[in-house]
Amino acid sequence: MILGAGASGLMLASHLCEKGVRDLCIIDHNPRIGMKIKVSGGGKCNVTNEKVDTDNYLGEENFVKAVLDRYSPSELLKFLNERGVVPKIRSLGQYFCKKSADEVINALEKDIPSEAYKLSHKIEEIKKDEDGLFLIKTDKTEISAKYLVLATGSPAYPQVGGSDIGLKLAKDLGHSSSVFTPVLVGWTVQKDQFWMKELSGISTYVSIDVGHKKLYGDLLFAHKGISGPAVLSASLYWKKGLVKIDFLPKQSLKETFKQKKKQVSTQMQVSKRLSKFLLESIKLKDKSIQDLSSEDWDKLALLKAYPMSPAGNFGLKKAEACRGGINTDEVDAKTMQSKLHENLYFLGEVLDVTGELGGYNFQWAFSSAVVCAKDLETKLLK
């Protein structure tokens, strides 16, 4: 029994069906399968990344490594290629579907018989009976199963079915977890940075320092605050306090402003409108570089380490993932099986492992599913 017809649940089912496992049941409350895949990557699903490393994840490093080592991006691409899907690198090693995310959904469902699905069933409760069977209660029925796989993801994007039911179910079975909070999400800003909202729609290349991490990419000014790939990835590592934004990440301050006779604003390598707002924010009047005082240079240095404390984030409805989940100390990375209950498995985002933006979360979902499939196959095909 697989709870959740999302990325990890479908990959597991596909592998099991390909090996000839019958008698499979996949439950989901959505009327359609793979809804997060469908909306991912702007509809083109950033399915994995050329370079996937534990450094791209928040989670217990040895656990993450053990799982990723067992099913790599090249194995995932081979699986997709064999099903006629040939994702292409767009930038930063990110693989996207050529036409649409449906290519991935079709590849996953190819080997799964339609009778396996129980859709529009909301999972509500799990219990274990005296014979060791799991009893699953949905809003429509009760089913018992010897093997149970929890692949219900996180509550990010509830509009396509995201929920935190996984943590409740795991808790009822004695597992510990940390609470889900939205990440890969834009930040709202404090009063000092309200000027950013006036730039809504403009995007600029930056780096963001958050804790010990430095994330590069585009920052998009939005009417609620700031968003874009750099902010989304940085949001994974931010809990509270200061972050520093480098608005001129390509060069040092001296290199950027080496042409002494030019105006400061013309050398900033950002749009004219943004340069005006940036100079206002550091309280520096635009002038010729040769006229800058040492105090002015100190102000300019702020553009390479612009301090701000996000006020909060755009919330679950805008978040691409959640931090938190089931404690991985209680799960065996070689099989994804619970260390507390034999025949209980956890996959994907329901676990306390979250990747940066860039295809890392699907790779995690798929790797954990294949690790589980290898273990379940040996049990089911005995």
Q: Which residues bind to ligand FAD, rule: CB under 6 A?
A: 4-9, 27-30, 35-36, 39-41, 45-46, 122-123, 151-153, 156-157, 161-163, 165, 320-321, 348-350, 359-362, 365
Q: Which residue lies nearer to ligand FAD by CB, 349 or 352?
A: 349
Q: What CA–CA distance (Å, rounded) separates 363 from 72?
A: 8
Residue 188: Cβ-neighbour burial (10 angstroms; 0-12, 13-18, 19+): middle
Q: Which residue lies nearer to ligand FAD by CB, 41 or 225?
A: 41
Task: Report, in Å, the least distance between residue 88 CB and ligand FAD.
Answer: 14
Task: Report, in Å, the least distance between residue 360 CB and ligand FAD.
Answer: 6
Both tokens of 153, joined, read 């993801």
Q: Which residue lies nearer to ligand FAD by CB, 238 or 346?
A: 346
Task: Report, in Å, the least distance between residue 155 CB and ligand FAD.
Answer: 8
> What secondary structure, in 3-state letters, does 57-111 show?
EECCHHHHHHHHHHCCHHHHHHHHHHCCCCCEECCCCEEECCCCCHHHHHHHHCC
What are the DSSP calls for 338-352, one per residue? ESSSTTEEE-GGGBS
Q: What CA–CA distance (Å, rounded) separates 256 from 264?
A: 9
Q: Which residue lies nearer to ligand FAD by CB, 45 or 278?
A: 45
Q: What CA–CA distance (Å, rounded) separates 210 from 244?
A: 7
Residue length of the chain? 382
Task: Report, in Å, the least distance between residue 53 CB and ligand FAD.
Answer: 14
Task: Report, in Å, the least distance between residue 96 CB and ligand FAD.
Answer: 8
* Cβ-proximal residue to ligand FAD, closest one: 6
Q: Which residue lies nearer to ligand FAD by CB, 122 or 197?
A: 122
Q: Which residue lies nearer to ligand FAD by CB, 67 or 279?
A: 67
Q: What CA–CA distance (Å, rounded) separates 273 from 270?
A: 8
Q: What CA–CA distance (Å, rounded) separates 365 from 155?
A: 15
Q: Which residue lies nearer to ligand FAD by CB, 55 or 298?
A: 55
Task: Report, in Å, the least distance between residue 168 CB and ligand FAD.
Answer: 9
Task: Report, in Å, the least distance between residue 6 CB and ligand FAD.
Answer: 2
